[in-house]
Amino acid sequence: MRSDSPRKVDFTVTITPNQEPQVLLPGNHQLETWEKWLEVSRAVAYFFGSLLFLFGSIFFYPEYSAKWNGNAVVFASWGFVIGCIYFFAGANLDFIQSIRYNHGTQLRQVLRAFTALCNYMAASTFVLGALYFLPSWYPKSPELGCWAFINGCILFCIGAIVEILFICTTHGDPRVSGFRITNMFCWGAAATLSTLVSSVFFIIGSWFYLPEYINRADDGTHYMNTAITFYVLGSVCFVVNSCVLALVFATTTQIFSLRTPLILLLGLVLLATTTTTVHSLDQATQVEEVELDPDVGKSTVELIQARGYAVETHNVTTADGYILTLHRLPMSYAETQSGESAAANKTTILLMHGLLDSSFSWVCNFRNQSFAFVLADAGYDVWLGNNRGNTYSDRHIKYTTEDDAFWDFSWEDMGRFDLPAMLNHALEVSGRDTLALVGHSEGTTQAFVAFSENQTLAQSVSYFAALVPVAWLGHTKAKALKFVAKIYLDKIFDVLGQVEFLSQNEVLQEIIGASACTLNPQLCETALALVSGDSENWNSSRVAVYLSEMPAGTSVKNMAHYAQSIRKDTFSAYNYDCSCLRPLGLKLCSKLICKNKAKYGSFDPPAFPVANVKYPRTGFFRGENDILATSVDIDQLRTAMPLSTVVYDETISDFSHMDFTWAVNANDKVYQSVLEQLEAYAGVGY
């Protein structure tokens, strides 16, 4: 009989939640064997890639490319291709590693991923560039390979800079704990800096390998050797980078059985590649041993004394506290050697140097070639100025060069404070009512600032000789400066907290001046031509002397101000930026996001009123081959000034920007014309 009563059932349900997957591996993750070999494979890929770059570069030299019945150049080309493929493989492994591991904070994760992405794109671009170096591909587009390498290296540079930020970023919130520069003292930072240096060398090498250089009838071979030399140097740095990475990976992966032989192997290979590189450079450039010029490393005072002139050193403090140094030549050579007193009532003249230069530029050549000596022997009381931040004017009543506040200046401050202080001091000491002024490059920029704002000061100058005047720069052809402006290098330095730019470093400049430029002055001339323009007027044997004192240093802000002039084609006060919506009007614009409003009370910085420059009488001296201060920009300046102000305008044939202070024939082509103008207006008032 069936029962209709419900059946009792007992059961329980247990729900076990799914474990969330570990998306990112923690930093202390213990590597599996396959993971360890993956890390080592990454280092090996970079190592063999850079090694192939090195041998490929060496066999691009004309001397070596002809070997093996001309097939050596094919080997070199394929060396580049296979090396780039190795780099591409390493970059892929980099990218995998960066997205698998947890690097502590969201910022560190983003920085590491960005670095890996830059390296991946750079390596991809390298592969394309290398293919167009193959003999069968090169004729299709001779420039493409070079530009691919240049762009790839820029990406490598960006990745290296971001990697440095990653290394300096703490595992905590950087808004609280900030960045630690001390983190840079590690092998990872050494590898990153090697990548940065390598990329810069490859950029320079690729630039000079462009057809417009290597196909020149007269000096194409020189440019080719220069380009390949930079490729070799860059390859050596890439080898160093991969060796350091290999040591780091061998340590972190704890493959002790491989560590010792790996170190020995990489050490031997590094020694062998360095030896090969030195040999190839020696064979390719065929440099003979050259006696060092005795003037290398001499200061302005030491050079003046070595030429047999009396010299005085004066210090003057500006209204904003900078202590500037002036060098004075009160007597001619004949007066100094005879022991006579200086003649009375000499015309006083002040000479102002250019960007990254100093008073040294006016005495850097021999007696009949340097303007300071020419003027002294012509009977002038010669004063040589030094702007704030250079080798001779690096003091302040309150700050030291270690303080960021010391470097908070640009060329407009030199015009408002430096030039008036030095000019008035020279007038006071000499007892004259007026003096003559000669400015070169930046020395003219600060003068136009000073005279546009202070016509009383301007009337104390009887004549102003503007050698390659610089105000507007929107049409400059100096590719190096245009590149700096285009990539906003000033902004990058600002982010990195760098405030000082190319200040004199005795060790570095002795290496450059006493070694590199003495052995291969053409290489240094080529580098200088990127900023100044090609020149046949320098004494090649003196380039080492010039670069032992130059660059003399300035501020990043000063370089940024020139970069702004290039980007905006303006002659204005420093632009502190403004992010306001302008249609809403200035009143609704917050000073927090518009620093220009806080500084100037406007969206944009004010332009310097050069239309006010009625005084002093001014002469323009241009250079036909000057790629920095072009005639278009100088014409723009002249048009903006009153018509009667410019009383003389001459273009010097075959002269580049630096020829006005460095050229051995500057006395004949420039200085005698300036002397004629000075004599015509000396002591003449307004």
Phi first, then psi, for residue 572 (nearest 5°) are -135, 170
How far is it, in rounded angstroms, from Cα 566 to Cα 233?
Answer: 32
Query: Residue 351 belongs to what H/E stretch?
Result: strand 347-352
494 catalytic residue (yes or no): no
Beta bridge pairs of residue 380: 347
Query: Residue 420 belongs to what H/E stretch?
Result: helix 419-430
Tokens of 637: 């300046």
DSSP letter at 541 equals G
How far is it, in rounded angstroms, from Cα 107 to Cα 109?
Answer: 5
| Residue 529: C-alpha distances to residues 213, 251, 365, 604 (Å) | 13, 46, 19, 34
DSSP letter at 104 equals S
626 catalytic residue (yes or no): yes
Helix (H, G, I), strand (E, B) or coil at 405: helix
Single out the catalytic residue among 441, 462, 532, 535: 441
How far is it, in rounded angstroms, from Cα 486 to Cα 472?
Answer: 16
Helix (H, G, I), strand (E, B) or coil at 535: coil
How far is it, in rounded angstroms, from Cα 683 to Cα 675?
Answer: 14
Do 116 and 91 meet the contact criterion of CB atoms below 8 Å apart? yes
Residue carrying structure tokens 């920029």? 445
Q: In this structure, is the dihedral angle defined by the CA atoms of residues 278, 280, 284 and 289, taken in order, positive or negative?
A: positive
Residue type, 321: G
Q: In this structure, is the dihedral angle defined by the CA atoms of residues 84, 88, 89 and 90, taken in order, positive or negative?
A: positive
User: Following DSSP, what letter does each residue of 574-614 receive, concatenated?
Assistant: ----B-S-GGG-STT--TTTBHHHHHHSSSSPPBP-GGG--
Single out the catalytic residue among 103, 327, 353, 657: 657
Single out the catalytic residue among 357, 381, 490, 626: 626
DSSP H helical segments within 506-644, as ranges?
506-511, 517-519, 521-532, 543-549, 556-568, 595-600, 631-640
3 catalytic residue (yes or no): no
Looking at the annotation, which residues are catalytic? 441, 626, 657
